[in-house]
Amino acid sequence: MDLILLITFLLLVTLIINFKVILIPLLEFLNKINYSLIKYLQTNDEVELGSIIYDSRGRFLEFLITNKQLLPHRVALRSIHKKLMSNKEFLAFGSKKVIMLFSKLDNGSTITFHPNVFITNNTSFEVYYKSIEKYIQVTYDNTTLYGNIDQISEFKMLVWNLDIFKNKNIKLTLNHPNKTSKRRFHTSSLNRNLKISGRIE
């Protein structure tokens, strides 16, 4: 009887040891998959900021933005807003700003995704999106002409610092914090020689 108990005990010990040998690598493997999945999900809803360009003549910053994941436009805009609001160069470029966003179409041409809009360093995404939502809906209503609004792979954003006195008369197309804005921005300004001031990874 003692021998049977001893054999049973040894078998149990062997099973436990073998189970640990199998279980630990399995848990480690599953943990790696879980970590990779979390990392993928965290980065999959993000756009990427490329080079930051400063135009001294036009007095604006230009942000080049890629949307490799082809995120739906609202998700992409939220990601752009999030990136900008944590970007040191953007935040340092005045507390009050005018921004203008362009989108690059499949045929290589560039159109205005939304015209000049006023924001501050504290403007929430909801406030920003509400001010441009109607324009976007009207502009992209003709999908034959402008393409799929949720398939835009590249954006370009121009940013003017309203804290600079020379920029005080830039015209605001969509929302007006005051009534003194007069100056129009022409897309011909995009053809100027630009000076790269920094790059974000």
Least confident of 5-9, 106-110, 185-189: 185-189
* Overall average pLDDT of the 16-25 stretch: 66
- For 52-62, how does the pLDDT look when each residue is reduced to its tens digit (9 = 90+)? 999 888 789 99
Distance of CA 1 to the CA centre of its chain: 72
Q: How high is the pLDDT of residue 197? A: 34
Please list the alpha-helical segments (H only) found in the chain.
2-44, 73-84, 88-92, 125-139, 143-146
Residue with tokens 């560039």: 110
Give yes or no: residues 85 and 144 share one domain: yes
Distance CA 149, CA 82 (A): 20
Looking at every residue in the chain, the average pLDDT score rounds to 75
34-43 burial code (b ≥16 CB/10 A, e <16)? eeeeeeeeee
Give yes or no: residues 4 and 78 share one domain: no
Distance CA 197, CA 147 (A): 32
Least confident of 105-109, 139-143, 157-161: 139-143
Give yes or no: residues 105 and 150 share one domain: yes
**Residue 106: domain span:** 48-199
Give yes or no: residues 102 and 191 share one domain: yes
Is the overall model pTM greater than 0.85, yes or no? no
* Overall average pLDDT of the 144-164 stretch: 82
